[in-house]
Amino acid sequence: MLNETIVEHDLYLFHQGNLRYSYQLLGAHPHEENGEEGYRFAVWAPNAEQVSVVGDFNNWDGTSHRLKKLNENGIWYGFIPEITEGTVYKYEILTPHGHLRLKADPYGFSSELRPNTASVTYPLNQYSWNDEQWMDRRKNINIYESPISIYELHLGSWKNIETEVYYNYREYADMVIPYVKELGYSHIELLPITEHPFDRSWGYQTTGYFAATSRYGTPDDFRYFVDQCHQNGIGVILDWVPAHFCKDEHGLRRFDGEALYEYQDPIKAEKPQWGTLTFDFGRNEVQSFLISNAIYWLKEFHLDGLRVDAVASMLYLDFGKEDGQWELNEYGGRENLEAVAFIKKLNEAIFEEVPNILMMAEESTSWPQVSSPTYLGGLGFNYKWNMGWMNDMLKYIEMDPIHRKHYHHLITFSFFYAFSENFILPISHDEVVHGKKSLLNKMPGDYWQKFANLRAFLAYMYAHPGKKLLMMGTEFGQFDEWKDLEDLDWELLDYEAHASALDYVKQLHQLYNDMPALWELDHDEQGFFWIDPNNYEQSIVSFARNSRNDGDQLIIVCNFTPEVYHGYKVGVPKEGHYKEIFNSDATHFGGSGQTNGLALETVNEPWQGQDQHVAMTIPPLAVSFLKRTCSPKEENE
């Protein structure tokens, strides 16, 4: 007979892969039984001969608190009255081969501070939220037609006390949120904060999928961080890793003595590139585990989205593998059909349970319809990272300007597919680490030119269709690449060029947030048209961005060489006066001051396919934003 707290229908759904809240069934939960308060434990271990809960409370003696097997599918259950919040525990599992294994709880809500590896009992529902206004607003906002600019953040290396000694989530809230809010970002994206044993994996090799890492405090400390972000108008996105998990002995690997969370076939299970194991996406209980985990972070922590890591490694059987390390699927292809089906099922569940959030795929191939709904044949995400744009632009911007004319296509090609997906334009941690250099230090030229190139690149990025993401440190021109064991080089802000770079990013965000043309039609071809994509000789491009309001139109002119041009003709669609509302070469940004201070009056002569044109100064290594202010008739009125 099942215990009253374990509902038979939930067990059925779990084993069918359809229990979306399996964390309420499994794991350790406060419970009262026969008038005694304690914790109930439930764990899935179908191959185990015996399962016990062990910890300091019973001197790690596996004979003291053995669990009972509830069904033939391997759910083990037990109630321990003396357990209280903060109790350290593991499962002692007797495998079919007669070995004893000590495992952390796959559904553990908290963990010991590394290098210790046990789970810690922690109640789910004791935090009092104060973000009702944000959550109500989120229900109704159109995220596709809103400004989204994301600050990618690794807490431990944003600022720390000393190497591998960190502040608390609450202290980070007090430091990070005013800074991000002042800069004008809409969201923070956290590198994985799920529990992980090795600092230098940055959280991408996880052991505790339901535990916010104890490096920075308790789960409720993390809830406070999210709560404070919301109260200050900042969304929070979590980098989430369902593609693979690490092999540490206390983790999911061969959890009950057999392959359970990973594929039984080692060819499918092994990810040799990373030394990790692939989840068995075809196993129902693993589907319940992963889908519940995504919902857990979105529901229990009020997160506003997930950035799903390494989607390509899920989709393709041969990802990161040599010949002989993978096998064709049943149809002779290289697609992981089970992973494809799982991803669709995941996204369908997410948007049914938590509407209007961000599900962003880090997908680096040309897989079609990543951000299309599943009912249209898509994978069901609502955003995809534009890795093609990122690779092309970084290759282009690292070149000496004298060579850029030979690679002009790199700054124009992305517009051919800009509306094929809902794109995020990312400059992420992966691009500023492992010898790739910081974004500023990728730039060619002398000290001045490096900063000018940085300003031009960022202005072009914010003018390009698609939402935005920048790795921390980019905003003030970090010279060194990201150092994951040290904090950012905040002392650079004592230098004028870096302080000006920070102010530039702030002003660029203000422009971005204030101008609907830069985001309202990001995913609609009506939001963009070329004026001149072909001037490769001078490495100049010009285009327009539109909103639903015709009066919001912006003309953007980008010059990727250090040459200055006076009287340069730019086609514009309407007669009138055009004002330069932003110029990345302005002196207060550290530029040379080649700006267009006076309104530019149109000349009634067709140019570059437009009915009118203006003659303007083109600043060096810079981007100009023009906005029509009035027509001659309107001015006279």
- Which pLDDT band, with edges at 50, 70 and 90, does 4 fall under? low
pLDDT digits (tens, 9 = 90+) for 53-87: 999 999 999 999 999 998 889 999 999 998 999 99
Model confidence at 164, in pLDDT bands (50, 70, 90)? confident
pLDDT above 70 for 598:
yes
Domain-ending residue, one of 385, 416, 432: 385
Closest CA to 553 of 520, 598, 586, 505: 520
Q: Is 85 a catalytic residue?
A: no
Whether 401 is in a domain gets the answer no
Q: What three-state secondary structure class fits 23?
A: helix
Mean pLDDT of the chain: 96
In a domain, residue 486? The reply is no
For the ranges 162-166, 329-333, 600-604, which has the lowest average pLDDT? 162-166
Are 148 and 186 in contact by the 8 Å Cβ rule? The answer is yes
N- to C-terminal Cα distance for the chain?
Answer: 85
β-sheet bridge partners, residue 187: 150, 235
Concatenate the DSSP letters of all residues of 405-416 into one string: GGGTHHHHGGGG
DSSP string, 308-332: ETTHHHHHBTTTT--TTS----TTS
Backbone angles phi, psi at 594, to 5 degrees: -85, 75
Do 617 and 566 form a contact (C-beta atoms < 8 A)? yes
User: pLDDT per residue over 536-566, tens digit each?
Assistant: 999 999 999 999 999 999 999 999 999 999 9
Secondary structure (3-state) at 424? strand
Average pLDDT, integer, range 225-253:
98
Q: Which of 338, 355, 385 is a domain's end point? A: 385
Let me know if residue 228 belongs to a domain. Answer: no
Give phi and psi for 628, each to the nearest 5. -70, 130
The pLDDT value given to residue 3? 53
Q: Does some domain include residue 462?
A: no
Flag whether 321 is in a domain: yes
* Average pLDDT of the residues in 598-610: 96
Report the chain's C-alpha Rg in angstroms: 27
Strands (E), 118-230: 119-120, 149-153, 187-190, 194-195, 208-212
Is 309 in the active site? yes
Task: Determine, yes or no, domain membership for 631.
Answer: yes
Q: Measured on CA atoms in the order 158, 162, 163, 168, is the torsion positive or negative? A: negative
Give the whole-angstrom CA distance, residue 601 versus residue 616.
10
Is residue 204 pLDDT above 80, yes or no?
Answer: yes
Q: Whole-angstrom Cα distance, residue 186 to residue 202?
A: 23
Per-residue pLDDT at 1: 35
pLDDT at residue 633, as a whole number: 59
Give the CATH number, domain containing residue 574: 2.60.40.1180
Active-site option among 131, 227, 262, 309: 309
- Domains of the chain: total: 2
- Residue 637 has a pLDDT of 53
pLDDT reported for residue 552: 96
% of the chain with per-residue pLDDT over 70: 98
Mean pLDDT within 242-257: 97
Give the domain-ending residue among 385, 414, 432.
385
Please say if the pLDDT value at position 577 is more than 90.
yes
Polymer length of the chain: 637
Other CB atoms within 10 A of residue 495 CB = 12
What percent of the chain shows pLDDT beyond 90?
Answer: 96
The boundaries of the domain holding residue 281 are 1-124+235-294+306-346+370-385
31: domain CATH number is 2.60.40.10
pLDDT at residue 489 is higher than 90: yes
120 neighbors 87 (Cβ within 8 angstroms) = yes
Task: Report whether pLDDT(2) > 70.
Answer: no
Across residues 106-128, what is the average pLDDT?
97
**Residue 476, in any domain of the structure:** no
Q: What is the pLDDT of residue 163?
A: 85
Mean pLDDT on 107-134: 97
Instruction: Name the phi and psi angles at 72, rounded to 5.
Output: -70, -15
Query: What is the pTM assigned to this prediction?
Result: 0.96
Q: Is pLDDT above 80 for 5? A: no
115: cis peptide before it, omega within 30°?
yes
The predicted pLDDT at position 463 comes to 98
State the catalytic residue, choosing from 92, 189, 362, 431: 362
Q: Residue 453: what pLDDT?
A: 98
Tokens standing for 488? Answer: 């950012």
Q: Which of 555, 536, 550, 537 is nearest to 596 (CA)?
A: 555
pLDDT digits (tens, 9 = 90+) for 374-420: 999 999 999 999 999 999 999 999 999 999 999 999 999 999 999 99
Q: What per-residue confidence (pLDDT) applies to 72? A: 86
Q: What is the pLDDT of residue 71?
A: 84
CB within 8 Å of 127: residues ≥ 6 apart: 220, 223, 224, 227
Structure tokens at 375: 């009912």
Q: Is residue 404 part of a domain?
A: no
Q: Does residue 613 have a pLDDT over 60?
A: yes
- Tokens describing residue 155: 């807490």
